[in-house]
Amino acid sequence: MNIPNLNHGFLPDEVVLQILVRLPVKSLLRIKCVSKHWYLLTSDKFFITLYNELHVKNPVVLIETTESSELRSSLICVDNLNGVNEFSLDFIRDRVKVRASCNGLLCCSSIPNKALYYVCNPMTRDYKLLPRIRERPITTFHPNGEATLVGLACDLFTQKYNVVLAGHHRTFGHRPQNTFACLVFDSESNKWRKLISMQDDSFTHMNRNQVVFVNGSLHWMTETCSLVLVLDLNLDIWRKILLPNEVGSGSGNRAYLLESDGFLSVIRISDSWMTIWNLKDYEREKWEMVDRVSLRCIREMVPGIFPISQTGEYVFLATHKQVMVYKRKSRAWKEMYSVKNSSTLPLWFLAHAFRSTIFSCH
């Protein structure tokens, strides 16, 4: 790909590009309005790819809050590099809740109308209302008419995305069956497709929220914490990956599924330790323990601490009232955010891993 030749200033475009690509999204959007030349430069596919590849390496934590006066969702962004910022989802013009996050996009469901789903980029305030779902199974998922699993898969290279809604189908007036109904939205065709399989797995709230997209597949940890349920979006096939035996061993341990620098990763929290494994060989399902962290200095928080996002350099974790970051090189803990008012729900219940990109919904 070629960079447009827009050298009308004192600096070559290659230098300007290296400056612009490091700006936060909000600053970049302002820059686009300053100069036609900068607008063309930052709209080029080469720049968009370069920008996304750089910023996707800096995961942040999004905390969903609700403004009681307007009943609209707001988001607090906790960033290890840029601190704490707040922004709103009011551009969607609907009361929504965040159901999934992937590579800069969010999948949100309408609160008044459970059949409506949106995909949005909260940084660029771009959004798309997905085609209304008319398949009957989607309205009869167990337990409350909502999909048990919601997944969002965004490919930064192709700029395409999929939304997945899945759950155990329940015939009206009957108990849930083992029939697992799954609807997949494809951004390229702008259509839904349906998959039916047999599954008997169950999921906790945290398992449902921490869906991970790697290797062209979506991953959820099951309630037993012994295996991962995988949906291959290229083949439309469900399969399972076994977790390390140590993850489920011992009483009082908790396990969470995350992504780490392109690897599928699992973190186990015990009374005294946080242990991290990465799936280094995806095809052969070979896990490798990459870190073991003592929790003694935060032992009072351990019963209510949950990992939300990570890289090879740090781990974001949420408690009832705080967001903490653990810096793996210095072995240091730091508080990044604390709730100032009374919150009815703990932060880990409302937190999502996020990357700030200029991924378009259209």
Give the pLDDT of residue 140.
45
* Measured distance between the N- and C-terminal CA atoms of the chain, rounded to whole angstroms: 22
Q: What residue ranges of the chain have pLDDT lower than 50?
A: 1, 3-6, 69, 137-144, 173
* pLDDT tens sequence across 333-355: 999 998 876 656 778 788 999 98
State the Cα–Cα distance between residues 73 and 55, nearest whole angstrom.
24
**For residue 257, what are the CA distances in angstroms to 2, 17, 330?**
39, 36, 24
Bridge partner list, 138: none
Give the pLDDT of residue 232.
96
Give the pLDDT of residue 185.
96
What predicted TM-score, i.e. pTM, was given to this entire model? 0.87
Give the pLDDT of residue 197.
83
State the Cα–Cα distance between residues 219 and 229, nearest whole angstrom.
6
Give the pLDDT of residue 346.
78
* pLDDT tens sequence across 254-277: 899 999 999 999 999 998 999 999
Give the pLDDT of residue 164.
95
> What values do phi and psi take at 47, rounded to 5?
-65, -45
